[in-house]
Amino acid sequence: MRQVILTNMLMRRRQTGGAAVARTGLTAEPSLAETGAAGHGASVSLWAAHLPRHLLVTPLGRVLLAASDTGLAGLWFEGQRHGPLAAWRGLGHQPAHPRHALLQAAEAQLQDYFAGRRPGFDLPLDLSHGTPFQRQVWQALRNIPPGHTASYAELASRVGAPQAARAVGAAVGRNPVSIVVPCHRVLGAGGALTGYAGGLDRKRALLALEGAAI
């Protein structure tokens, strides 16, 4: 079943020329000002462009991995909303740092994850380039176990900001390490499948791969 889900997803992306992400109907996110991150995206993009990077092909499309001296700092799908465009430019189809130990470990764990041999990840992370509020939300995401989900409202309560579900949603949308920091496990009110920067088809496929009830 796992391979059928991922194969169908890959075939659909090929048939649409990769346009699925642009057509996923992502809901509008709150203003960056709500998270204190106004103007932050451009600096993240430039920062990521100077990190060791690795391009990996997965069943859900190409992903860009980036690592700092302290941990995995980025995992972005191609075409991902809020992704670091500068980091993709000039990378081409070959990995920029194929022998980087952490990037190799991340690639191996991702391959095991998509093959169903690994439910989670054991990688050092560098989330230091987010705002304090973003980092708090990203840490809370890591506490959602595989096969489970949480709503934006529940996540807001967990970070001690029960009235800030929209701000939490904005922080979730700017998670720099997709899959490993599992922002795909956050659902809208009533379990609605909304708000994934990598595209709703990918979110649905990741949740199905993990056995989550959606």
CB 27 within 8 A of CB 194: yes
Sequence-separated (6 or more) residues with CB below 8 Å from residue 57: none
Q: How long a stretch of residues is the chain?
A: 214
User: Choosing from 37, 65, 183, 186, which is the catalytic residue?
Assistant: 183
Sequence-separated (6 or more) residues with CB below 8 Å from residue 114: 6, 58, 59, 60, 209
The pair of structure tokens assigned to 146 is 């595989």
C-alpha 32/C-alpha 54 separation (Å) is 29
CB 127 within 8 A of CB 180: no
The pair of structure tokens assigned to 4 is 């059928």
Catalytic: 43? no
Catalytic residues: 183
